[in-house]
């Protein structure tokens, strides 16, 4: 059981829920991630055949969606040096602490919000954007759930909590109550040196390898594309 809760002091509403993944999984892939809640693979992604769509809607149960990524056993906060994603809102906008990366630790969650600082609201609709590296010096994370602060510079968070084990990492969309329906597509998620593109080796067939015009491509041929995904996208 993992806790997928968000806590944002500058918002007046806080939604906390506990979810058993086994009961809500929609799809699983061999390339290191699982979709949960109202999440599905869609086409196209960002310069690739496939992206992962997550949605939070008051009228579509369970009102949240996300992606749960595999993590290396023993990973600590200090071991994380890159966290980024491409994203596109197709409905609604960011707000209410959503969407966000969520880092699970034994002490609680660390939240890494997506959207314009400082309120993380006002994301454009219909346009692919990149978060850039959210763990660069000067970027902020929310460590308030583990005894830190809401606007905690990442380097300070590492200095104080760097030894905490990261037991899970998710991308979560769940703030319909704040921003109305939020539908967002993710692609090219980077966690350290691994890129998640939501494709498989089958995406390389029938000329599909030529659709990867940016990372993890471009590929020279179908064989190189297939080999990439056969290695788990590394």
CATH number of the domain residue 63 falls in = 2.60.120
CA distance 70 to 43: 23
Domain count, the chain: 2
**Together in a domain, 150 and 173:** yes
With a cut of 80, say whether residue 5 has pLDDT above it. Answer: no
Kindly state whether residues 192 and 204 are assigned to the same domain.
no
27-47, pLDDT tens digit by residue?
333 468 999 999 999 888 998
Give the mean pLDDT of the chain.
86
Residue of higher predicted confidence among 20 and 113: 113
Same domain, 134 and 66: yes
Examine the domain organization and report whether 163 and 215 are in the same domain.
no
Answer yes or no: do 172 and 229 share one domain. Answer: no
User: Are 170 and 64 within one domain?
Assistant: yes
Same domain, 61 and 119: yes
Q: What is the pLDDT of residues 161-214, one digit of tens each?
A: 999 999 999 999 999 999 899 999 999 999 999 999 888 788 888 888 887 777
Residue-wise pLDDT for 50-109, tens only, equals 899 999 999 999 999 999 999 999 999 999 999 999 999 999 999 999 999 999 999 999
21, pLDDT greater than 60? no
The verdict on 173 and 220 lying in the same domain is no
- CA nearest neighbour of 100 among 89, 90, 92, 110: 110
Q: What is the pLDDT of residue 84?
A: 98
pLDDT, position 209: 86
pLDDT tens column, 131-165: 999 999 999 999 999 999 999 999 999 999 999 99
Q: Which domain holds residue 215?
A: 200-234
DSSP string, 84-122: EEEEEEEES--BTTBSEEEEEETTEEEEEE-SSTTTT--
At 232 the pLDDT is: 65
Both 116 and 17 in one domain: the answer is yes
pLDDT level of residue 23 (50, 70, 90 thresholds): very low
Domain co-membership, 84 together with 134: yes
pTM: 0.81
Query: 45 phi and psi, to 5 degrees?
Result: -95, -150
**110 and 140 within one domain:** yes
């Amino acid at each position: 059981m993992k806790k997928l809760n968000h806590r944002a002091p500058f918002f007046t509403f806080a939604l906390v829920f506990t979810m058993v993944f086994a009961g809500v999984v929609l799809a699983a892939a061999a390339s290191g991630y699982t979709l949960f809640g109202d999440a599905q693979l869609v086409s196209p992604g960002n310069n690739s055949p496939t992206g992962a769509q997550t949605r939070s809607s008051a009228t579509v149960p369970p009102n949240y969606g996300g992606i749960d990524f595999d993590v290396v056993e023993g990973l600590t906060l200090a071991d994380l040096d890159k966290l980024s994603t491409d994203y596109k809102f197709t409905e609604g906008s960011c707000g209410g602490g959503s969407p966000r990366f969520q880092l699970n630790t034994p002490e609680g969650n660390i939240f890494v919000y997506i959207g314009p600082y400082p309120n993380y609201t006002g994301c454009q609709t219909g346009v692919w954007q990149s978060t850039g590296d959210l763990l660069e010096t000067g970027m902020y994370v929310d460590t308030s759930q583990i005894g830190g602060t809401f606007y905690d510079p990442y380097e300070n968070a590492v200095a104080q909590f760097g030894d905490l084990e990261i037991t899970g990492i998710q991308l979560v969309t769940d703030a319909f109550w704040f921003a109305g329906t939020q539908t967002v597509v993710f692609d090219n998620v980077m966690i350290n040196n691994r890129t998640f593109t939501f494709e498989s080796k089958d995406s390389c067939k029938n000329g599909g390898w030529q659709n990867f015009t940016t990372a993890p491509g471009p590929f020279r041929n179908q064989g190189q594309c297939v080999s990439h995904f056969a290695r788990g996208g590394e």
